[in-house]
Amino acid sequence: MLLLILTLASQHAYGLSPGQYWTEVQTWFRSGGNTMWFILACSVVTVAFTLERLMRLRRSRIAPARFLSQVRATWKEGRFDELIERCRKTDNPLARAVQLMAENRNVPVADIRAIVSDAISTELQIHHRRIRPLMLSATVAPLLGLAGTVSGMIGAFSRFRLLGETGDPTVFAGDISVALITTQAGLIVAIPTLALASLFGDRTARLTDELDMAVQQLLIEWFVNPDKDAAPGE
């Protein structure tokens, strides 16, 4: 799938119609042997987790600014039960952190800070773990390609040995070319997958920093320097 996305752009450069191009891709894929199916599986993993990260790794799903302003107003008015209920109905790490603050608003601030920090750490570990399949795909795909190439080379030289010293080298030259297809396919999958894993890793780190900053601001506003009409206790 990734292979098609990356190479369809070059279709017109070769003067092929979509039907002809698809036939060429099928021929190329079959030439790589059974190893190509495993490489294709790696590309499917890459596409699946890329789409999942694009949907879930967003600021609106981690630390939405609108939700932050809403809970500030609700807390200031002392409507803690309503605040807790709103957080329960909102699916993001910031909402769960605010819920913990509201439910434990009468305990010492040091304890609240520890409780919230542990909860946030657990939440964000999930996002870091979702990047691991991309790293695994980026690692396994080129190794599969190398394994396919080695197997093809062994078969090619075994055929040449059977032909004897007077054998025609062109007989196994085609086999070597076919064997290299698996390495090509593995690299085509691994390179963009590795780039995506790095991109999502950086984005996760940035959103983690934003979430930590938002939580720290709330802790300071509500517990360290609370307003007179926004006391943490009821």
Please write the tens of the pLDDT for every residue from 80-93. Answer: 999 999 999 998 99
Chain centroid to Cα 198, Å, comes to 9
111 by Cβ neighbours in 10 Å (0-12 / 13-18 / 19+) ranks as: exposed
Distance between CA atoms of residues 218 and 229, nearest Å: 15
Burial 164-176 (b: 16+ CB within 10 A, else e): eeeeeeeebeebb
97: pLDDT strictly greater than 80:
yes
As a whole number, mean pLDDT of residues 117-146 equals 92
Place of tokens 């870091």: 128
221: pLDDT strictly greater than 70:
yes
Residue 39: per-residue pLDDT? 93
Give the alpha-carbon dihedral of 38, 44, 45, 50, to 10 degrees.
150
pLDDT digits (tens, 9 = 90+) for 149-200: 888 787 777 766 666 555 566 666 666 777 788 898 999 999 999 999 999 9
CA distances, 161 to each of 149, 166, 175 (Å)? 18, 10, 14
As a whole number, mean pLDDT of residues 9-17 equals 52
Write down how long the chain is: 234
The residues, any chain, with a CB within 8 Å of residue 14's CB and separated by 6 or more, are 21
Distance between CA atoms of residues 114 and 105, nearest Å: 13
Residue 232: per-residue pLDDT? 41
Q: Which amino acid is at 102?
A: A
Across the chain, mean pLDDT equals 83
Greater pLDDT, 75 or 168:
75
Residue 87: per-residue pLDDT? 93
102 by Cβ neighbours in 10 Å (0-12 / 13-18 / 19+) ranks as: buried
pLDDT digits (tens, 9 = 90+) for 36-66: 999 999 999 999 999 999 999 998 899 898 9
Distance between CA atoms of residues 192 and 185, nearest Å: 12
20: pLDDT confidence band, cut at 50, 70 and 90?
confident
